[in-house]
Amino acid sequence: MQSHLEDLYPTRISPEPVWQERKVPVLYPGYSLPSPLSAEQARQFEEEGFLVLPRIYSEEEVAIFRVEVERLRTDPEIRASEKTILEPQGEAVRSVFAIHRDNPLFSRMASDERIAGVASFLLGGDVYIHQSRLNYKPGFTGKEFYWHSDFETWHAEDGMPDMRAVSCSILLTDNTTYNGPLMLIPGSHRHFIHCVGQTPEHHYQKSLRKQEYGVPDHASLEKLAERYGITEVSAPAGSALFFDCNIMHGSNSNITPFPRTNLFYVYNHTENTVQDSLLTRLPRPDFVAESRNFSALEIRPERFV
Amino acid sequence: MQSHLEDLYPTRISPEPVWQERKVPVLYPGYSLPSPLSAEQARQFEEEGFLVLPRIYSEEEVAIFRVEVERLRTDPEIRASEKTILEPQGEAVRSVFAIHRDNPLFSRMASDERIAGVASFLLGGDVYIHQSRLNYKPGFTGKEFYWHSDFETWHAEDGMPDMRAVSCSILLTDNTTYNGPLMLIPGSHRHFIHCVGQTPEHHYQKSLRKQEYGVPDHASLEKLAERYGITEVSAPAGSALFFDCNIMHGSNSNITPFPRTNLFYVYNHTENTVQDSLLTRLPRPDFVAESRNFSALEIRPERFV
């Protein structure tokens, strides 16, 4: 690790949006043998920046996860925790952070080879969890998440050097086109869009409820959407969605009665650990971005029933 | 017209939600010969409560309509008019009312047999415009419309006696599943869900921006959605969507760059004109609900290019 790493993606500095090309590969092939993905799946992830693996968890496993999610969502202690984020203008729980550390069940899941094995394959080596959370988008009142690149935030606010991280979302409810599913711009992961405006101190407390900084400009979003189109992720409960850390994504609100609940794990390569030297502000708290324990996950097959 | 019409759907009175069955037919067949719809189309409207007629306006016609829409949206006089509704927490124009009276182009469209002929067929006779408007759901910031039955509002706030009205929405931009399309619960038009809570005076000024009264309860919406499912209307610009006045519908927000613009005409049968005697409050203003001129539309073929 270098002590004065060069900032390869200097976002939130220029008064005008800047486009930059990605500097590292999307896929680091040849690492894991046998591959957990087909050649076609690997190619799709590389080109489009995301991949859905349908129903990798059984109905019985999903039922167990949902019971635990419901327990967390209604536990007054969890609700009062600083690691829990509520909906803007509401009291409903939106996210619970650091579930890979605090929750025994979801900690085991983080190491499960069905997801961690895929992350390690995509990133070409040892991985650790940069961030984990449970996302609960309730029925009737679920609000939108505006467009963003996760890497833009993790780079600017956590000091993540480069794009060698992948998110894995485990769907615990069916995701349809109408209950506020994740929307992705496939191909956008190859471009880094500098965001305009500086990051205020303690930004994370507000930004996890409603994004105001690190927001891409309208013209860039129009250009990306015109060029690549928009894909909505529709998949049944038990499916996993992997998406590149730099893909542009967001979601609309959810007025349907059907909640959208998922578990979210960010795998980062152990050679891409966050660097304080890249930050101009205080780092975000440890439950949002791992800043101490970068030891590689021990990946193993887990069974939950 | 009776001076003391019985209130057949006494909504906003009971402290608990009540379900009631529809009292009048959805379709009044046999009126118009030749029918503007196929037997299959008529059956679909009757069973599901809606019907899409793809591309009944040509690209050239849509281009003309869009120029006029853009002119209205940016005209400072229109913007300042009481007939114009802005987005909640924003300055963007959401709706412009009474376009069938105030705008020469959109007045001609109201009488065009491509839409008025269908409305007259569905309702079985002479029709007039109860309400018209231009809806502009902008890209990036378009907000949701919560679930509602239009008839519930028109009955409670305008005094419309029964369900012999149909809405026609003309899509001026492509509607996809991701830019906040209309969501419908097909089959819900056969049930009248009483809403809980009374209507405040001058409710319309707020309700057209954000609905707070006349809102169906969660349990009823869950029951409807479980029983009938949810359908999103995806259709290209130039298409017309007809939907029954009592169908439960709403839409999610739109963070995509793609605006969703439509023209909206409510056709009411001339034997179903609004009755002051059904109201417990002052009626809404005339630009929201026609209260004087109930003369039948002269339906004619219009050409706009």
Domain boundaries along the sequence of chain B:
18-30+41-278
Residue B1 confidence class, pLDDT cut points 50, 70, 90: very low
More confident residue, A5 or A262: A262
When pLDDT is averaged across residues B5-20 and rounded to a whole number, the result is 90
Q: Cβ contacts (< 8 Å) between A257 and chain B: which residues?
A: 218, 221-222, 225-226
- Give the Cβ contact number of residue B52 at 10 Å: 19
Poorest-pLDDT segment among A91-95, A142-146, B216-220: A91-95
Q: Supply the pLDDT for residue B117.
A: 95
pLDDT in tens, B56-85: 999 999 999 999 999 999 999 999 999 999
Residue A2, pLDDT > 60, answer no
CA dist B255 and B143 (Å) reads 9
Tell me which residues of chain B have a C-beta less than 8 Å from any C-beta of chain A: 139-140, 143-144, 146-147, 176-178, 180, 183, 218, 221-222, 225-226, 230, 232, 250-258
The answer to whether B168 and B127 have CB atoms below 8 angstroms apart is no
pLDDT in tens, A190-214: 999 999 876 666 666 666 555 557 7
Q: Supply the pLDDT for residue A142.
A: 85
| Residue of B147, B232, B253 lying closest to A177 (CB–CB) | B232
Residue A61, pLDDT > 60, answer yes
Q: Which two tokens stand for residue B130?
A: 């109860």
Tell me which DSSP letter residue A172 carries: S
How many residues comprise chain B?
Answer: 305
The residue written with tokens 């002269």 in the block is B298
CB contact under 8 A, A257 and B218: yes
User: CA of B256, closest CA in chain A: separation in Å?
Assistant: 8
Q: Supply the pLDDT for residue A214.
A: 78
Side-by-side strand order, sheet with B260-269: B50-53, B240-244, B165-171, B260-269, B127-137, B93-97, B84-86
CA dist B57 and B38 (Å) reads 19
Residue B3 confidence class, pLDDT cut points 50, 70, 90: low
Q: Could you tell me the pTM of the whole model?
A: 0.90
| Residue of B144, B178, B255 lying closest to A255 (CB–CB) | B144
CB contact under 8 A, B253 and A257: no
CB contact under 8 A, B255 and A258: no
Q: Which two tokens stand for residue B288?
A: 């929201």
CB contact under 8 A, A258 and B180: no
| Residue of B146, B178, B226 lying closest to A255 (CB–CB) | B146
| Residue of B177, B230, B256 lying closest to A256 (CB–CB) | B230
The answer to whether B245 and B266 have CB atoms below 8 angstroms apart is yes
CA dist B168 and B242 (Å) reads 4
CA dist A283 and A143 (Å) reads 27
Residue of A141, A144, A148 to mutate when probing chain B, most B C-beta within 10 A: A144
pLDDT in tens, B219-253: 999 999 999 999 999 999 999 999 999 999 999 99
Residue B294 confidence class, pLDDT cut points 50, 70, 90: very high
CA dist A265 and A114 (Å) reads 13
Q: Supply the pLDDT for residue A1.
A: 45
| Residue of B144, B230, B257 lying closest to A221 (CB–CB) | B257
CB contact under 8 A, A253 and B258: no
Q: Supply the pLDDT for residue A273.
A: 97
To 5 degrees, how large is the angle CA A257–CA B186–CA B234?
A: 85
**A148: closest chain B residue by CA:** B255
| Residue of B177, B252, B255 lying closest to A255 (CB–CB) | B252
More confident residue, B16 or B302: B302
Residue A28, pLDDT > 90, answer no
More confident residue, B22 or B143: B22
A107-142 b/e (C-beta count within 10 Å ≥ 16 → b): eebbbbebbbbbbbbbbbebbbbbbbbbbbbbbbbb
CATH topology of domain B18-30+41-278: Jelly Rolls (2.60.120)
CB contact under 8 A, A225 and B254: no
- Average pLDDT across chain B, whole number: 91
Residue A252, pLDDT > 90, answer yes
- Give the Cβ contact number of residue A229 at 10 Å: 13
Please spell the DSSP secondary structure of A26-60, one letter per residue.
Answer: S--TTSSSS-SS-HHHHHHHHHHSEEEETT-S-HH
A35 exposure class (CB count in 10 Å sphere: 0-12, 13-18, 19+): middle
Q: What is the ipTM of this complex?
A: 0.88
**B225: closest chain A residue by CA:** A257
